[in-house]
Structures are given as structure tokens and as C-alpha cells.
Structure 1
Amino acid sequence: MKIINKRVLAKVGKLRIVELEIVSFIANKVKPGQFIVVMVNEKGERIPLTVTKKDLKRKRITVIFQEVGFTTKLLGNLKKGETLYALLGPLGNPTEIRHFGRVILIGGGVGTVEMYPIAEALKKEGNHITTLIGAKTKELLVLKEEFRKISDKITFVTQDGSYGKKGMVTTILENLLKKNYYDFAYTVGPVPMMKKVAYITKKFSLRTVASLTTLMVDATGMCGVCRVSVGNKTKFSCIEGPEFDAHLINWEELENKLKMYRKKEKYICKLHKLC
């Protein structure tokens, strides 16, 4: 679990997106859609991360994350040559990868890194890939060239207009659905964005899957933090997900649950002088 390489992919003010290449035998087992859980030190919390890339020959995995809370900031402070306290995985259920036909992928913010291995696998199955990637500003767009190589059509959207089209990725999505037919949609990113994606695609009867890795602690189904209502049934996103039918998720409930932890996260971050 040694860190072989470290890169800061983006930096806007205090916000950073960091890439770590880690030695791990998980490289041989992890599949698109699954995730790992890492602990930075013995007293640290467990956080879920997606394996963005893997090197089977050298037994290495690559994770990309945004420093948004206490543990991700601790993780971002690790240096090349240091070792993680613990790494568990692969966890969760893999994405259904097959030939759907015309596929549209909608990613927002750092969520796009979770989407990359899925996009790559869907492309290998011969799907026609349309990719929509949104971010607040140019500097926060990552993996641009990687997505270009595997996408038949790609659109970048920034809220400030610094790169690609100006506006919201969901606006571009709705315009595309009015003019084109798709067989399958996949979305990952901020919850408000995914909620809007689900609302739009439902109007067009387009099957849509959303990835929910935001609410996890234990990641083995014991703590219950990741509970989410899907089709009026309680699901555990760590063991029954992390992917669900976007049209059946209770997005309002999920948004309210996320708000519960923001004050505590800011407090512990300031306590340890990481914010």
C-alpha cells in the first residue's frame, strides 16, 4: 500500500484534486463500478474511493480525489514513498457492462474520475459513447484527454465559461435528448446534478443509473450511514450499490442526509488546522 507516485492535478484556491498511484494486489480484482476504502492512519475514518486506473503487471492502482473534508485532506498530505494504514476492496457491485448501443455519460466535478473506468469498459463492448463533463471552472476539469480518446462525442461544460460551453451540464443533456435517441445513461457527480439528470432522463423514458458513493463510513453494511431509499425500499449503497436506478432514488431524502454531516466535518477540519 505504498504510494509510488503523487500528482496534484488541479488547484483552485485551497481546493486541490490529487492523484495517487498505490501498490496493491487489488488491481487484479477490481472491476468498473466497484470501489475501495482507505484509512490514512490508525485513528482516521474510512473513506470510499474509486480505482480510476490499474496496472495489472506492476500491481498498481490509481485513485483521484478532491480534498473536501478532514480525511481527504490528510490523504492529500501524504508524500511519495509513504504508506496507507489500510486499504480494503474491491467493494460494491460492478457496473453492468455490455453492448447497449448508444450510451450517454454525464459526469460532474471530481465525479468524472469515477466514470472513466466505466466509460472505458463500455467502449470496449462496442457502444457509441457520448460524454458530458461539467465543472465550475477549467482548472477543475480532469482526465480530458483520456475521455476524448474513448468518446465518440464529447462536450465539456464550465459554469464560468472558461472552457467548453458555458452553463450547466444538465442543460446540454436536455438539449441532446430532444434531438437524439440513447439506449442507456449513466451519471455520477454532485447529488443536485444527478437529481436533475434523473428528472430530465425520466421525461424521455431513458434508463439511467446513478452511482452513490458519497455516504459511506464502514462500507460493509454494518453502520447504516449509507442507507438510501430506492423505490420505497431501504438500500445500503455500500453492499447493494453503489449504483441504483436513478429514477427510483429518493433524491430529497439523500440531499437532507448529506447536510447532516457538513457542520461536523468543518469543525473537525478546523480543529486539526486542515481548513
Structure 2
Amino acid sequence: MQTVVGQDHHCRCQSAVGNVFGLVTSAAQEGFRILERQDLAPRIHLLRIAAPAIARKAKAGQFVIIRVDERGERIPLTIADWDQDNGDITVVFMEIGASTMMMATVGAGDCVKDVVGPLGVPSDIDNFGSVVCVAGGVGVAPVVPIARALKQAGNKVTCIIGARSHNLVFWEERLGSFSDRLIVTTDDGSYGRKGLVTEPLTDLLQSETVDRVIAIGPSIMMKFCAKCTEPFGVKTVVSLNTIMVDGTGMCGCCRVDVGGVTKFACVDGPEFDAHQVDWDLVLARQRTYLEKENHALKDSKWRAFEKTLVRARE
């Protein structure tokens, strides 16, 4: 695997984010140009970014680390799509904390400071037979390239989408185009089947042969998908979204326990055998900086609002 920083397509454009933070005034700032921005659902956004060096190397299951500006946190995001001919990559993210809130304020024509990748070990793609892909919430985005690759490899692909409500379901048609069967569930029953993704997953395990399950979404969802498949002895793969800093394994922030051995999600993963993951440790480590994140979020709301005002006055 080769990791590149898409240096061959830096743009020089005025950074609105920089203006808000006081990093630049009238000077131009290098970065990676946003080619397109879409709002897919409430607080869920798509960015298509010019990064030809990354697009040439990207494979299903890999991710990038993005920094919006010089003061920004490093945000790991799975590559949801890429176009080698046009030299761009697509990422999808949800506004959860301060950094993703700031990222949500950039638009087409803006630049982000850093895009590093492709990082991580690509998904294991082969003709396994019958594969079930479970996508919870924003996890639909990373499942799409995996489902596409699995379908191209000759698998029968069943996809399950889970969301809290109908308005949070996105990319249903896109995922459906790579699926032999698509099941949608919502917690409140406003669309598709009412309930959790584990319910149709259990039905499939009980009624037919399933050779592999891939689950991507909130950690608690992946944990219970693993519990569903374990009694059936079905190989289950999850993609862990851990805290990351450098993306090379040096910082140790992304360490996880897999089968009693310490692994680093950024270099050994992000995909692991779900039945070997210490889920209690994963969930506990996600809460490590919760207090600081809440503090930063309160501050970022004012900064994001200030940037919105700057845009409105332009």
C-alpha cells in the first residue's frame, strides 16, 4: 500500500475558514479544492474533493484524513467514491463534533488544508458466495464501494440500511444498484421495516446460507451485529471508526484489542474480525475526550455562525 498526499492538485484560493479563525486576511492559502458539496440528509453532507493522486490509488475500504485548516482536528473519513479519470474523491460525513461542524460550512470552490491518503488496508474482496452488508446511519457511504466491489467479484449481495427515521435515509438507490436485495429499516417505522438492522439480519441468518457479513455504522450497532452472527459461525467484518491523529500508527490513539492483541486501526485496519474485537474497550475509548469535545462544540457553534455571516455578506 502506498500513501500519498495529493500534492499535484493543490489549489490557491481564499479560505473562508481561515478568515474566521484569523489565519489569513487577504493572502491566498494552499489547499484542496472542493468541487461539489451536497446535503444528503439533516447534518449529513457530501464533499467531492480534487485529489488526483489519491484517486489513482484508492480502493474499497480505505480512508483519508482531512484537516479543514491549520488549527483543525484531523478527521478520518472513508473514501465513499473516487474517479481516477477526473481525479477526485468523495467523502460523506455527519456533523457530530466541533471539527465536523466546521467542515460542514465549506462549499464548492472552497479549499480544505490537508487531505492525506489513501490510508488503511483495503477491504478483502473475493467471491465468497452470499454476502450481507449492513449499513447503519452514515455507514451507508463506506458500504457502497465495498458492495460494488463484492458485486463485481460475483457475489450475491444483500444490503441492509438502518436509520433512525426516513429523513436520514440516503443513497438508497445508489446502494440498491449494487445489491441483489435491499432492506431498509427505521427505528420509528417511518420508512421501510420498523426496527433495528439486527432483526432482518437475524432473519436472513436463520432462513438461508450467508457466507459473510460486513457491518459498518455506530460501534454499538456493529457490536450487536457481531452477536447476531456469532452463533451461526458466519465470518463478520466491521470497520472501526476510532480516534486518530497521525494515521500512521505512531500516536497510538487508534489502538484496539483484537483477539487479545493490540492493533492499530489506521494501519492494521480499519476492518477487523468482529468476533475478535473487544467491544467494551472500543466503546470506552470513544468516550475518552467527550468532555473536551463538548466544550469545543459549544465554541465552534459561535465560530460556524460567524462564518455563515461572512458568507452572507460576500
Normalised-by-shorter TM-score class:
over 0.9
1:67 paired residue number = 95
Aligned counterpart, 1:9: 40
Paired residue type of 1:23: A
Q: Which residue number in structure 1 is paired with residue 232 of structure 2?
A: 204
SS at match of 1:50: strand
**Does structure 1 residue 106 correspond to structure 2 residue 152?**
no
SS of corresponding position for 2:49? strand
Counterpart CA distance in 2 for 1:149 and 1:7 is 20
Find out whether 1:262 has 2:290 as its counterpart: yes
Equivalent residues of 1:3, 1:79 under 8 A apart: yes
Alpha-carbon offset, residue 77 of structure 1: 0.4
The TM-score with structure 1 as length reference comes to 0.96
| Distance (Å, rounded) in 1 between the aligned partners of 2:170 and 2:80 | 12
- Which residue of 227, 231, 242 maps to 2:259? 231
In 2: Cα distance, 1:249 partner to 1:217 partner: 21
Q: Are 2:229 and 1:221 equivalent residues in the alignment?
A: no
Are residues 1:24 and 2:51 paired?
yes
2:198 aligned with 1:170: yes
Deviation digits for residues 100-142 of structure 1 (CA, Å, limit 9, x no counterpart): 1100111101011111100000000110001111010111111
1:36 to 58, 64, 67: 64
Q: CA RMSD in A?
A: 1.1
**How far off its partner does 1:272 sit?**
2.6
* Aligned counterparts of 1:207 and 1:19: Cα–Cα separation in 2: 31
1:154 aligns with 2:182: yes
1:89 and 2:120 are equivalent in the alignment:
no
CA distance in 1, matches of 2:257, 2:286: 14
Partners of 1:214 and 1:131 in 2: how far apart? 24
Q: How much does 1:253 deviate?
A: 1.0
Counterpart Cα distance in 1 of 2:181 and 2:107: 37
- The superposition leaves residues 135-192 of structure 1 with CA deviations (integer Å, 9 ceiling, x where unpaired) of 1011111110011111101100000111100011111111211111111111110011
In 2, the alpha carbon distance for the partners of 1:216 and 1:115 equals: 21
SS of equivalent to 2:144: helix
Would you say the 8 A contact 1:213–1:238 is kept in 2?
Answer: no
> Offset at 1:217?
2.2
CA offsets, 1:186-206, max 9 Å, x none?
Answer: 111001110001111011000
Q: Which amino acid aligns with 1:5?
A: E
Aligned length: 271
8 Å CA contact 2:238, 2:272 repeated in 1? yes
Match of 2:172 in 1: 144
Structure 2: distance between partners of 1:236 and 1:166: 36
Q: Are the aligned partners of 1:69 and 1:269 in contact in 2 as well (CA < 8 Å)? A: yes
1:79 pairs with 2:107: yes
Equivalent position of 2:75 in the other structure:
47
TM-score after normalising by structure 2: 0.84
Q: Distance in 1 between matches of 2:275 and 2:211?
A: 15
Using the TM superposition, give the Cα deviation of residue 45 of structure 1 relative to its aligned residue in structure 2, in angstroms: 1.1
Tell me, in whole angstroms, the C-alpha distance in 1 between the residues paired with 2:244 and 2:144: 21
**Offset of residue 248 of structure 1:** 0.3
Contact 1:41 1:84 in 2 (8 A): yes
Runs of 4+ in structure 1 displaced over 2 angstroms?
272-275
Structure 2, gaps ≥5 residues long: 1-31, 305-314
Match of 1:194 among 219, 222, 229: 222
Look up the SS of the partner of 2:298 in the other structure.
Answer: helix
Q: Is the contact made by 1:36 and 1:88 (CA closer than 8 Å) also made in structure 2?
A: yes
Measure the CA separation in 2 of the matches of 1:99 and 1:247.
Answer: 21
Q: Is the 8 A contact 1:103 1:182 kept in 2?
A: yes
- Correspondence 1:243 to 2:274: no
Instruction: Check the 8 A contact 2:82/2:89 in 1, yes or no.
Output: yes
Give yes or no for contact 2:66–2:77 (8 Å, CA) kept in 1: yes
Answer yes or no: is the 8 Å Cα contact 2:242–2:265 preserved in 1. no
Verify: 1:273 aligned to 2:301, yes or no.
Answer: yes
